[in-house]
Chain A
Amino acid sequence: MPTRKQFRIICPMNKKNIKTYLPFILLALSFLMIAAGFMREENYEVFTKAAHICLECIGIG
């Protein structure tokens, strides 16, 4: 079992590393969210709205 000091050498979680990895963590999260959205069929909701005249958008309400 590695000691605390040894663990920090193996897996250094300092500010610089978090800053480096954060974009990729967020990117992975975003892909998971997109997949979850497709599984929930949210794209159909988007399509339904986008394929019809949006009366609110054009100022009719």
Chain B
Amino acid sequence: MSVKQEIKRKLIQVVAFGFSNFHISNFAGGKLYTGKWKNFCNPGLNCYSCPAASLACPIGALQAVTGSRHYNFSFYVTGLILALGVIFGRMICGFFCPFGLIQELISLIPVKKFRLPGWMTYIKYLILLIFVLLIPEAMSLLSQSQTGIPAFCEFICPAGTLEGGIPMLLTHKELRDAIGPLFALKALILAIVIIGCIFIHRFFCKTLCPLGAIYGLLNKVSILKLHVNEKSCTHCSACSLKCPMDVDPVKHPDSAECIRCLKCAEACPTHSISIKAMAKQITQQ
């Protein structure tokens, strides 16, 4: 994979970002798109309260349906996330996620980058279990109104603060009058994520993203997979040094942390790394 392939990936990311946030003109009036496309979920993380958002957020939708009084489990959203994960695995994070693109743009700030301690990558699984699954379900079963709260969206999600909160607060005085400690908490988390992204590649993806956690678990069974040609690989470790997710593609090609951005393939001097759909090779070596 050459530098041109990285430019192609960036172009795909920009197109995906544009498709996810198509209604730019809504920023001026602080309106939301309310058309039929909001029945469908975005493959990546993108707040549906962003004025420009054209699709629903999959994590927000999952919490909304799980926490509603009519349903305890969402077949639709779970099935959609499962389908996307089984086909692409975490390639969605590497190519289609709008918030992933935002993090990569922040990472372009030229400062020294650091590696994250390995244990911090497990935090996102706890967030998925507690904030996305357990709290909305528990609240809908225990509360008198039988409705749960979207705990991840309410207490953590920096995409919601950046894409939805800030634009809406800038255009709606009545919302500005209502902000309190919760917004302060979310703004703090957003600041930590932005600072984290400056010094650590894809900080949010590594530590906090519950959608990445789900797709990562499906990396091992996905149809599109990273393939390493054992015969041509010289074990020079150029791929693992280049990897923004701190993965060794030769030892762990199906790692749950791999976002399949193919920077390892670009760095490989013998072109031993490629994407394969089952047995068939997709990318050029």
Contacts and interface: CB of A to CB of B under 8 A. Distances in A.
Interface of A: 20, 22-23, 26-27, 29-38, 40, 42-54, 56-61
B76 A33 contact: yes
A27 B83 CA distance: 5
Contacts of A56: 149-150, 153-154
A38 B55 CA distance: 16
Contact of A50 (B48, B82, B178): B48
A33 B73 CA distance: 11
Interface string B168-189: 1100000100111011011100
A4 B78 CA distance: 38
Contacts of B68: 45
B60 A42 contact: no
B165 A59 contact: yes
Could you tell me the dominant secondary structure of chain B's interface residues?
helix
Contact of A53 (B32, B41, B74): B32
A43 B55 CA distance: 12
Contact of B75 (A20, A42, A44): A42
B127 to A, nearest CB: 16
B223 A23 contact: yes
Contacts of B39: 43-44, 46-47
B64 interface: yes
Given A26-B82, A46-B38, A59 B187 contact: yes
Contacts of A60: 175, 178-180, 182-183
Nearest to A27: B86
A43 B4 CA distance: 39
B164 interface: yes
Given A46-B56, A58-B169, A59-B161, A33 B34 contact: no
B256 interface: no
